[in-house]
Amino acid sequence: MLWDYEQPVAIRFGNGRVREIKDVAADLGLTEGGLLVTSDHFVHDGTAARLVKESDGALAEVFSAFSPNPDVTEVDAAAAIIREKHLRFVVAMGGGSAMDLAKAAASIALTNDSIADYHGTGKPMPLDHLPLIAVPTTAGTGSEVTCVSVLTNRALGKKAPIVSDGFFPSVAIIDPELTYSVPPHVTASCGMDVLSQAIEGYWSKGHQPICDACAIHAAPLVFKYLPIAVAEPDNAEARQKMCEASVIAGLAFTLPKTTSSHACSFPLTNIHGIPHGEACGLTLDWFARINADAQHGRVQEFARAIGFDDVDAMADAIHDLKVKTGLRTGLKDLQLTESQIDDLVRISRHPNLYNNPVEITDDMLRDMYEHLAATD
């Protein structure tokens, strides 16, 4: 077996460490010209203004004009500000949406192009980029340590990742206290993303030993701490452990890449508006049962390594976790028509599907979506 490992992102983890942004920037030689990309939540609660003030001039601008599942036009808008104001670095403080927008903007700003030219077109991203400091505020995507930016082109009805070595942040600052304000349903959905990344990173065709170890570390933390974080948003231990699971699951999948559940999540989010992590979790137990005996027993070994008797028991536990945290277990409320199911099958045929250890046919996808369409 041949494998490579690389992890170029410096990680600073712990409560209160968001206050280190200015020092981290200074260590990178950056004392002015920073763009803070952050969601409206942190503008309204005053955190953005406080960080700008405390930065002693290092942060010059704030950009928050973007939506969850950010659109290519919003990336172009952020890049235009970077160009106009001659900004020199970017700080992304938010969920995956803020971090992914910032990664793409920090690269495309050094060109005169639109990010749309590189989104799902196969055109490689230029590697040049402004330095990026990533500060996640959800325990979810792991985007702070990945080279992936997931963007949406609403005009074309397309959601897809762009992968580029230029997207690795220079530094990730993970401050669990920033996640206390995440509402319960977002906490649940983001946590299910963590679990999907760990499990999919493990069974991906691109699996490798270091990422396996990360997956085995991260997954049990989600089973144990996600229900607590959902029920008790201020539970410091649960929030901290979910942040640990999130960053380590990010390391587990960024090189192997995700697989079937992520492939299916894209149309579920794009067409039906189901939040990203909830959409991934919707099919995770189904694919676990399909992949149970793949890779000469590796998937069964994973289930046992994280404390289950076998993959069936792990799949049952994924289902129970969704019920316990208020996430969807079916699509019955959407009253899907046959033609909507056809669309889900067709659009799920995304490149990530080909990383799945078992070949997934259209008939298998149709069986799954018909089952989900009939399930509450």
Residue 141 interacting with ligand NAD (CB under 6 A): yes
Question: In this complex, which beta carbon is closest to ligand NAD, that of residue 217 or of residue 276?
Answer: 276
Please, what is the minimum distance in Å from the beta carbon of residue 139 to ligand NAD? Answer: 9
**178 contributes a contact to ligand NAD by CB under 6 A:** yes
Map the footprint of ligand NAD across residues 268-287, applying CB under 6 A.
276-277
Q: How far is the CB of 257 from ligand NAD (least distance, A)?
A: 10
- Rank residues 16 and 297 by Cβ distance to ligand NAD and give the closer one: 16
Of 13 and 295, the one with the shorter C-beta distance to ligand NAD is: 13
**Cα–Cα distance between 164 and 337 in angstroms, integer?**
38
158-163/148-153 β-pairing:
antiparallel
Total interface residues for ligand NAD by CB under 6 A: 29
Shortest distance (Å) from residue 197 CB to ligand NAD: 7
Least distance CB 329 / ligand NAD (angstroms): 19
CB-hemisphere CA count at 13 Å for 61?
20
Position among 21, 35, 37, 39 found at the interface with ligand NAD (CB under 6 A): 39
Which string of x and - marks every residue 84-113 that binds ligand NAD (by CB under 6 A)? ----------xxxxx-x-------------
Beta carbon nearer to ligand NAD, 141 or 260? 141
Question: Contacting ligand NAD (CB under 6 A), which of 13, 31, 60, 68?
Answer: 68
Which residue do the tokens 């991906």 mark?
204
Strand segments (E) across 88-245: 89-94, 132-136, 148-153, 158-163, 171-174
Query: Measured between alpha carbons, how far is 76 from 86 in angstroms, rounded to an integer?
Result: 15
Answer for which of 47, 55, 107, 146 binds ligand NAD (CB under 6 A) is: 146
Q: Which of 105, 116, 148, 315 binds ligand NAD (CB under 6 A)?
A: 148
The residue behind tokens 């945290």 is 325
Residue numbers 179-218 binding ligand NAD by CB under 6 A? 179, 181-182, 186, 190, 193
Question: Residue 323: CB partners within 8 Å, gap ≥ 6?
Answer: 329
Nearest CA to 127 among 152, 110, 144? Answer: 110
Q: Does 78 bind ligand NAD (CB under 6 A)?
A: no
Distance CA 36, CA 52 (A): 8
**318 near ligand NAD (CB under 6 A):** no
Q: By C-beta, is 33 or 95 nearer to ligand NAD?
A: 95
Give the nearer residue to ligand NAD in terms of CB position, either 193 or 285. 193
Residue 361 CB, nearest approach to ligand NAD (Å): 25
Binding site for ligand NAD (CB under 6 A): 39, 41, 68-69, 94-98, 100, 137-138, 140-143, 146, 148-150, 178-179, 181-182, 186, 190, 193, 276-277
